[in-house]
Amino acid sequence: MNQVMNFFSNSLRERMQNLNLEGKMLQEIRLRVYKPVIIYIDNEEYFLSIHGEISKDSISPMIILPKDIADTLVLMSEYSLYSYEEELKNGYITIKGGHRVGIVGKAVIEDNKIKTLKNISGLNIRISHQMTGCADKILHYILNSPSIYNTLIVSPPKCGKTTILRDVARQISDGYLEFKGLNVSIVDERSEIAACFNGTPQNDVGIRTDVLDGCPKVWGMRILLRAMSPDVVVVDEIGGEEDVGAIRDILNAGIKIICSLHAADLEDIKNKKYVADLINEKAFEKIVFLSNKKGIGTLDSVWNVVGRRWEVRDS
């Protein structure tokens, strides 16, 4: 909390600095122009009052002014909005500590592309919580000592794919029980896995891990293949034709791959033409399905290639 506090405007900082959130999980802080500050703690919604207290009712709430948003954004960007131009186009920046800040305002369009955002009207500060050990339950399906299986981690949004992918990368890199650590390379196009800030991963992604931050997946995979001679490449949210091409290059070079995909089940994957081709080619040896049936990151099933067929190994 203290780390995030430094990024708020003075008026916000004054009201938030006395909040006692010990033992609670701060998840999100939402700032909207001329609207109350809303804070999400342990999946509950609270309003911040002008007296610096939080309550579930909007009683004398602190109202955010444009200056609060502008000052907060300046502090979050370390007085350097220009250095976040590319991220701004995508509507978010990653700040020190790996926290993700979603940004909305007026999009400036040039040549059919978003040039930048102006008149920023809302910030959604999502507090990063690394869930160390959350991949324990799927790791033994992936490991094939001394190497690993090419694995696809699949789930609908908000089921903890990226969090589990990060922990898988960390454990493969550091080593797990008898499994000796491998050189892992991560292509972190949206800074979600390692949450790099000024080039330094803010999340623990392992001692043998190299991170290529902010680079498009397709370029990134090929750069890492040539430059870092990894044992394993980790990449988040594949889907496009070019992604699949780069994955084939990785596999042809004998390098293992772990990636994630937005989909609900095997049927859903079949609708994603390019990834479905990869699945049919048996490029992946394991497919891990996650859901949030019993909380975020619930392991639903693990599919194995058996001969030429896919079979459920565990569910």
Partner 1 sequence: MLKIIGMLIVIVTSTGVGFYIPRLHKNKIEFLMDIRQSFCLLKNEINYAVNTIVVSFFNIQEKASNQYVKQFFYDMYEHLQNKDGISLKNIWEKGVNDLLYKEKINESEARHIKTFGNSLGYLDKEQQLRNIDFLVEGLDEIILKHKENHEKHSKLYSRMGILVGLMVAIVML
Binding positions for partner 1, rule: CB under 8 A: 6-7, 9-10, 13, 74-75, 77-83, 85, 116, 198
What minimum distance in Å lies between the beta carbon of 13 and partner 1? 7
71 versus 300: smaller Cβ distance to partner 1? 71
13 versus 35: smaller Cβ distance to partner 1? 13
What minimum distance in Å lies between the beta carbon of 198 and partner 1? 6
Q: Are 290 and 160 in contact (CB under 8 A)?
A: yes
What minimum distance in Å lies between the beta carbon of 290 and partner 1? 35
Alpha-carbon distances of 191 from 12, 202, 218, rounded to whole Å:
27, 10, 15
- In one-letter notation, the amino acid at residue 147 is S
What minimum distance in Å lies between the beta carbon of 6 and partner 1? 4
What minimum distance in Å lies between the beta carbon of 130 and partner 1? 23
Query: What is the edge-to-edge ordering of all strands in the sheet holding 54-55?
Result: 54-55, 44-48, 38-41, 26-32, 113-126, 99-110, 92-95
182 versus 195: smaller Cβ distance to partner 1? 195
66 versus 146: smaller Cβ distance to partner 1? 66
48 versus 275: smaller Cβ distance to partner 1? 48
Torsion of CA 89, 201, 295, 47, to 10 degrees: -60
Tokens of 2: 């203290």
3-state secondary structure 163-193: HHHHHHHHHHHHCECCECCCCEEEEECCCCC
Tokens of 190: 């949206």
What minimum distance in Å lies between the beta carbon of 82 and partner 1? 4
The residues near 125 (Cβ < 8 Å, ≥ 6 apart) are: 4, 7, 28, 29, 30, 31, 99, 100, 101
What minimum distance in Å lies between the beta carbon of 255 and partner 1? 30
Q: Are 189 and 236 in contact (CB under 8 A)?
A: yes
Q: Which helix (H) or strand (E) holds 253?
A: none
12 versus 211: smaller Cβ distance to partner 1? 12
8 versus 141: smaller Cβ distance to partner 1? 8
